[in-house]
Chain A
Amino acid sequence: MRRSFDAEGWRERFLILWTIMTILFLLLPLSVIVIMSFSAGQFLTMPKELSLRWYQEVLTNGQWRQAALNSLSIALLAVSIALPAGLGLALANHYAPPRWRAFVRSAAAGPMIVPVIVLAIALFFVLAKLGVVGTRFGVAIGHGLLVMPFVFVSVSTALEYFDDQLIEAAESLGASRSYAWRTVLLPFVVPAIVVGAALAFVNSFDEAVIAIFVGQGGTLTIPSLMWRSINLEITPSIAAVASMVTGIGILIQGAAFLWLWRRLRVSVKLTPSGAT
């Protein structure tokens, strides 16, 4: 008994150490970039003294500002394409007869499964015919397609926990179907919609491959301008942009998840007291 307990302690300690090493491995590269972004010198090395020089440079640079504006409007447009599409498919997946579900699910996951580079060139050819290559609209279509599965997965997961008898109960109490959907189902899926939209937004904002191919030189987003700059000359300004983009992404997604978590806790707390 004693021996097996000691053995377990030894093994568990090794597992914890292994997990912490993995966390460090995952965090290390970005931490280095964030530290380097505060350097004062011309080159991207560990700073001897901290300065905000490159942040100032980026924030006042017209090209980066234009790229930020492009990224922002493309991400908003992409979310407004992905949201109705993903939400509708999730609802269809939930209510469709079982034999249709496998089809809806694999169709909705399609953009995630096909390699992005293949999707990018396929879209490049078709969007070139439509004359929207190099425009914000073209990139937003590609991103809308690419990030739609985030909304779909998020909402379908929530719907799996939805009790359809609640709709029937509302209808038996005299509500019309659409009223029941609006007042019973919709509030239930709103958190999932918000999280899905947040993920979709950040993923469009961060996306590089479609932005490079469909945007070409005509519309530069932050990632595609970063791609260009890396291939031209590496300056600490790229590190400053990378730090800011990552920080904003973590803030948005973290806030969405935190909100979801708190909402779930509140609803879990309320349910028993509401039932009694």
Chain B
Amino acid sequence: MPAHRIKINPIVLAAAPGIALLLIFFAIPLANLTVRSLTDPEFGLGNYKAVLGSQTYLRVGWRTIWISFLAMSGCVLIGTPVAYAIAHSKRRALVVATLAVLGLSFLTSSLIRAFAWMILFGAQGPIVAILNAAGLDVHTLLATQVAVVVGMIHFLLPIYALTAFAGFRNMPFDLVVAAEGLGASRWYALRTVYFPLALPSIINAGSLVFVIALGFFITPALLGGPSEMMLGQLIAISISKFGDFGFAAAAGVLLMVITLFLLSAVQWVSKAGQRQ
């Protein structure tokens, strides 16, 4: 295709504003953040030692991973049947309604959704009222791990279900029907034919929401207490409360590196799986 050679100039021209934006306000700030983590207040690994050497902050790190894992598991458990249903159901009304609700929830602000759960779980909220009516002595569900995980699942579920749906939609459902025709039960056919093919989509969508969960800041800040603090909050607090910029930078770099490492590992694994 000789046409490509002529087009190279317009390509660079078209890409220029985007490249400039990404370079000046994405690449440079992230590089600057990394430099800052190593030099503020003095050159060295002091900030990383402060993050990784303290029992308190290590606990925040492990908790971040644990809560993200719980939220991801919730999404997989709730969202996989939903994605399966809308990928193969013939009921148009159900499919369109579900997709519309998933899409609109996905596009609703995380702050507003966390605020809504804050009210629902709060002392005057309906959930406490119901629990009290059932005879349980509960004052508030706020500042609990349950509240944080439910709020996070609520935020992540549309992302999980839509991503898994995009994968499931391309699955050859005829294979399940064929297996049934050969005498397999529906459940056996799903387990042995559908599930192995669907697994990459589930892993892909699950790891996506896990990684997003790692960076959460607003939801745990509103729904959790000090003992549910996650890494994103630690970064936010060290800037706004303590003004410890070097520490915040180091924690931010760690969060970014973990995120990028996990994402590329999953991509590598799924590519290796495809090659097999």
Q: What is the interface of chain A, defined by CB distance below 8 A to chain B?
A: 4, 7-8, 11-12, 15-16, 18-19, 22-23, 25-30, 32-33, 36, 43-46, 81, 84-89, 91-92, 95-97, 104, 107-108, 110-111, 113-119, 121-126, 141-142, 144-145, 148, 152, 168, 177, 199, 202-203, 206-209, 213, 223, 226-227, 230, 234, 238-239, 242, 245-246, 249-250, 253-254, 257
A15→B33 contact, CB < 8 A = no
Q: Are A27 and B255 in contact (CB under 8 A)?
A: no
B193 is an interface residue with CB less than 8 A from chain A: no
Known: A118-B252, A121-B252. A85 touches B25 (CB 8 A): no
Q: How far is the CB of B79 from chain A (nearest CB, A)?
A: 8
List, in ascending order, chain A residues with CB within 8 A of B132's CB: none
Q: Could you tell me which B residues sit within 8 Å of A by CB distance?
A: 3-4, 7, 10-22, 25-26, 28-30, 32-33, 36, 78-79, 81-82, 84-86, 89, 91, 94, 97-98, 101-105, 107-113, 115-120, 124, 126, 154, 157-158, 161, 180, 185-186, 212, 214-215, 217-218, 222, 232, 235-236, 239, 245, 248-249, 252-253, 255-256, 259-260, 263
Nearest-CB residue, chain B, relative to A227: B111
Q: By CB atoms of chain A within 10 A, which of B18, B21, B186, B235 has the most? A: B18
Residues of A within 8 A of B22 (CB): 85, 107-108, 110-111, 145
Contact status A245-B109, CB under 8 Å: yes
Among residues of B, the one whose C-beta sits closest to the C-beta of A81 is B21
Max chain B CB contacts within 10 Å: which of A22, A86, A207?
A22
Q: Provide the residues of chain B in CB contact with A29, threshold 8 Å.
A: 113, 116-117, 119-120, 154
Q: Please indicate the chain B residues that have their CB under 8 angstroms from the CB of A12 in the complex.
A: 89
Q: In whole Å, how far is B92's beta carbon from the nearest beta carbon of chain A?
A: 13
Q: Assess whether B33 is in contact with A85, with CB atoms less than 8 Å apart.
A: no
15 contacts across the A-B interface (CB closer than 8 A):
A4-B185, A12-B89, A19-B82, A19-B86, A19-B98, A22-B79, A30-B108, A30-B113, A30-B116, A33-B112, A110-B26, A115-B232, A118-B30, A122-B29, A122-B32
| Set of chain B residues within 8 Å of A234, measured between Cβ atoms | 118-119
Within the complex, the shortest CB–CB distance from B118 to chain A, in Å, comes to 7
| Neighbour of A123 across the interface among B29, B81, B180, CB < 8 A | B29
Q: Is the CB of A23 within 8 A of B25?
A: no
B186 x A4 contact (CB < 8 A): yes
Give the residues in chain A near B107, CB-CB below 8 Å: 199, 202-203, 249-250, 253
Residues of A close to B11: CB separation below 8 A: 91-92, 95-96
Q: Are B256 and A118 in contact (CB under 8 A)?
A: yes
Q: Which residues of B contact A19 (CB under 8 A)?
A: 81-82, 85-86, 94, 98
A117, B18: Cβ atoms closer than 8 Å: no
Q: Assuming A15-B85, A125-B249, A223-B109, what are 17 further A-B pairs, CB within 8 angstroms?
A: A22-B79, A29-B120, A30-B108, A32-B126, A33-B115, A85-B21, A91-B11, A91-B14, A92-B12, A96-B11, A107-B19, A108-B18, A113-B260, A114-B256, A121-B235, A121-B239, A145-B21
Closest Cβ–Cβ distance, residue B2 to chain A (whole Å): 12
B252 near A117: Cβ-Cβ < 8 Å: yes
Which residues of the partner chain B approach A242 to less than 8 Å between Cβ atoms?
112, 115-116
Question: Which B residues touch A199, using CB under 8 A?
Answer: 107
> A116 to B109, Cβ gap below 8 A?
no
Q: Is the CB of A92 within 8 A of B180?
A: no
* Bound CA span A181–B161, Å: 37
Nearest to A36 among chain B residues (CB) is B119
| Residues of chain A with a CB closer than 8 A to B263's CB | 113
Q: A86 vs B14: C-alpha distance in the bound complex, in angstroms?
A: 10
Known: A89-B15, A230-B222. Is A208-B110 also a contact (CB below 8 A)?
A: yes
**Minimum C-beta distance from A252 to chain B (A):** 10
Other-chain contact of A88, B17, B91, B215 (Cβ < 8 Å): B17
Within the complex, the shortest CB–CB distance from B83 to chain A, in Å, comes to 10
Q: Which of B13, B30, B85 contacts A122 (CB 8 A)?
A: B30
CB contact between B232 and one of A111, A117, A123, A142 (< 8 Å): that residue: A117
Residues of B within 8 A of A117 (CB): 215, 217, 232, 235-236, 252, 255
C-alpha gap A26/B75 in the complex (Å): 12
CB contact between A22 and one of B78, B111, B214, B222 (< 8 Å): that residue: B78
- Contacting pair B32 A126 (CB below 8 A): yes
Q: How far is the CA of A141 from the CA of B26 in the complex (A)?
A: 10
Q: Are A114 and B259 in contact (CB under 8 A)?
A: yes
Look across to chain A and name the residue whose beta carbon is closest to the beta carbon of B232.
Answer: A117
What's the least CB distance linking A39 to chain B, in Å? Answer: 11
In the complex the two chains form, is A208's CB within 8 Å of B111's CB? yes
Assess whether B101 is in contact with A23, with CB atoms less than 8 Å apart. Answer: yes
A23 to B249 alpha-carbon distance, docked (Å)? 39
CA distance in complex: A29, B104 (Å) = 14
Given contacts A30-B112, A85-B17, A88-B15, contact A209 B32 (CB under 8 A): no
CB distance from A142 to the nearest CB of B (A): 7
